[in-house]
């Protein structure tokens, strides 16, 4: 009898997973769900760690963020010349100069970039080939500005045409059969190749960004400060300097190159993007250089854990169903609530203290559905044709047992 009980537990577990899989295949673009999905669909429990729980991180003094604001190309050239005077180790330019403009301004910018050691400029991936998985095109600034530069793509992972939370980035990707690295990875390589190689040795297709903070968690220089000859910039010696656009005035914010991150204090139904692309790149560089990586279980590991806990859940609920059928619904709902809260707490603790992200989505869905689906499963067992199948199975196993035992 215990054998068949255990088989029931096993088959009931498979049944719940099968129903979840079928529900997963149902199209999610149902109109009446859109307002809800837009409000909470871009939320992850680990966002709370970044925005509410994690202690304030100290500034990373290896990086200097420089705002180019709305300066002309000639003024940006002056910024670069003055920065070069104080000997930074790497300069990254997170801005595009795609077309030729005024010859005088272009000439001064071209010379400033040509005189820069360890210069990295951004490029942009486009024209994704859905069949090969490769991007077909890599574009950037006009070639005359790239003569002394290496490039790295600036694309961040988000849904096209929407403001979505940036949690991950691509360390590298193939463009027409050639492997290209991202802008922050290229900058990190020039600054500390050993630590960058250690990061790349993880060989993850995407990496979770371990955010340190917004632009004030790094050295920050506004556009006019760099051009002010009275301000000494000795502190940028041997550091990484990243130039790009930031609007530090919160009262006049724009949507130009600004995105949502998990640091946004309104993690559900977010109102305004909170971080500029250049600052996201700075956070990635900081993560690489400080070796503060986030670890994830592979899918097979997540599934095994979900199956084991799911099986134990089914065994518990099945036992209670046979013993105390009248109070089954109350027991299962209370147990499910406690389990979900405990699992969410475990996810938060692992992420906050161990930098380990546990994906419990499958397990949570299993727990939520398991009580009702197990009751449905037991109801199915009472159907006549199912009873006949069970009786034949019992006879088969009983016969096999008598044949084996002399």
pLDDT of residue 13: 93
Contacts of range 314-322, beta carbons closer than 8 Å, 24 or more positions apart:
314/9, 314/12, 314/13, 314/16, 314/370, 314/374, 315/9, 317/370, 317/371, 317/374, 318/5, 318/8, 318/9, 318/12, 318/374, 318/378, 321/374, 321/375, 321/378
Round to whole Å and give the CA distance between 367 and 361. 10
pLDDT of residue 128: 75
Round to whole Å and give the CA distance between 125 and 113. 23
C-alpha closest to that of 182 among 265, 92, 108? 92
Q: Provide the token pair at 230.
A: 């009275």
HSE, side-chain direction, 13 A CA sphere, residue 51? 19
pLDDT of residue 404: 46
pLDDT of residue 23: 85
**Per-residue pLDDT of the chain in tens (406 residues, 90 and over written 9):** 454 457 778 989 999 999 999 988 876 544 444 444 444 455 688 999 998 999 888 999 999 999 999 999 999 999 999 999 999 999 999 999 999 988 888 999 999 999 999 999 999 998 877 776 678 889 999 999 999 999 999 999 765 445 578 999 999 998 877 889 999 999 999 999 999 999 999 999 999 999 999 999 999 999 999 999 999 999 999 999 999 999 877 655 666 778 899 998 876 555 688 899 999 999 999 999 999 999 999 999 999 999 999 999 999 999 999 999 999 999 999 999 999 999 999 999 999 999 999 999 999 999 999 999 999 888 877 665 555 655 655 655 555 444 444 4
pTM: 0.87
Three-class SS of the chain: CHHHHHHHHHHHHHHHHHHHHHHHHCCCCCHHHHHHHHHHCCCCCCHHHHHHHCCCCCCEEEEEEEECCCCCHHHHHHHHHHHHHCCCCEEEEECCCCCCCCHHHHHHHHHHHHCCCCEEEEEEEEEECCCCCCEEEEEECCHHHCCCEEEEECCCCCCCCCCCECCEECCEEEECCEEEEEHHHHHHHHHCHHHHHHHHCCCCCCEECCCCCCHHHEEEECHHHHHCCCCCCHHHCCCEEEEECCCCCHHHCCCCCEEECCCCCCCCCCCCCCEEHHHHHHHHHHHHHCCCCCEECCHHHHHHHHHHHHHHHHHHHHHHHHHCHHHHHHHHHHHHHHHHHHHHHHHHHHHHHHCEECCCHHHHHHHHHHHHHHHHHHHHHCCHHHHHHHHHHHHHHHHHHHHHCC
Instruction: List C-alpha distances in Å: 259 to 159, 267, 371.
Output: 12, 13, 40
Kind of pairing between the strands at 258-259 and 275-276: antiparallel
pLDDT of residue 157: 79
Dihedral of the alpha carbons of 373, 379, 384, 387, in degrees to the nearest 10: 80
Q: Provide the token pair at 81.
A: 């010349």
pLDDT of residue 271: 67
Instruction: List C-alpha distances in Å: 301 to 127, 128, 348, 357, 365.
Output: 34, 31, 19, 12, 17
84 touches 116 (CB < 8 A): yes
Q: Provide the token pair at 116.
A: 């820069």
93 touches 119 (CB < 8 A): yes
């Amino acid at each position: 009898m215990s054998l068949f009980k255990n088989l029931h537990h096993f088959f009931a577990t498979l049944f719940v997973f099968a129903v979840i899989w079928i529900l997963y295949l149902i199209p999610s673009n149902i109109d009446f769900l859109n307002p809800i999905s837009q409000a909470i669909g871009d939320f992850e429990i680990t966002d709370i760690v970044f925005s509410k729980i994690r202690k304030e991180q100290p500034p990373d003094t290896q990086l200097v963020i420089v705002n180019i604001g709305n300066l002309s190309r000639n003024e940006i050239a002056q910024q670069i010349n003055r920065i070069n005077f104080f000997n930074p180790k790497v300069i990254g330019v997170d801005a595009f100069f795609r077309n030729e403009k005024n010859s005088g301004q272009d000439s001064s910018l071209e010379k400033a970039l040509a005189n820069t050691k360890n210069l990295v400029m951004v490029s942009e991936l486009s024209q994704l080939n859905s069949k090969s998985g490769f991007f077909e095109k890599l574009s950037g600034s006009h070639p005359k500005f790239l003569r002394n530069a290496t490039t790295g793509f600036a694309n961040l992972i988000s849904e096209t045409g929407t403001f979505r939370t940036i949690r991950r980035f691509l360390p590298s990707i193939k463009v027409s059969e050639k492997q290209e690295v991202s802008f922050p990875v290229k900058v990190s390589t020039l600054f500390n190749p050993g630590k960058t190689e250690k990061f790349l040795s993880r060989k993850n297709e995407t990496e979770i960004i371990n955010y340190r903070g917004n632009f004030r968690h790094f050295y920050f220089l506004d556009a006019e400060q760099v051009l002010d000859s009275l301000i000494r910039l000795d502190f940028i010696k041997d550091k990484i300097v990243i130039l790009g656009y930031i609007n530090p005035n919160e009262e006049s914010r724009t949507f130009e190159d600004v995105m949502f991150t998990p640091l946004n204090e309104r993690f559900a139904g977010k109102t305004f993007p909170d971080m500029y692309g250049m600052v996201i790149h700075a956070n990635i560089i900081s993560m690489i250089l400080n070796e503060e990586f986030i670890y994830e279980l592979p899918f097979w590991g997540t599934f095994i854990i979900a199956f084991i806990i799911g099986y134990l859940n089914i065994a518990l609920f099945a036992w209670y169903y046979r013993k105390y059928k009248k109070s089954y619904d109350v027991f299962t709902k209370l147990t499910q609530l406690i389990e979900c809260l405990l699992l969410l707490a475990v996810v938060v603790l692992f992420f906050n203290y161990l930098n380990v992200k546990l994906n419990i989505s499958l397990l949570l869905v299993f727990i939520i559905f398991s009580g009702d689906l197990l009751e449905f499963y037991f109801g199915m067992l009472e159907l006549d044709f199912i009873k006949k199948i069970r009786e034949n199975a019992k006879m088969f196993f009983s016969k096999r047992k008598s044949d084996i035992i002399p």
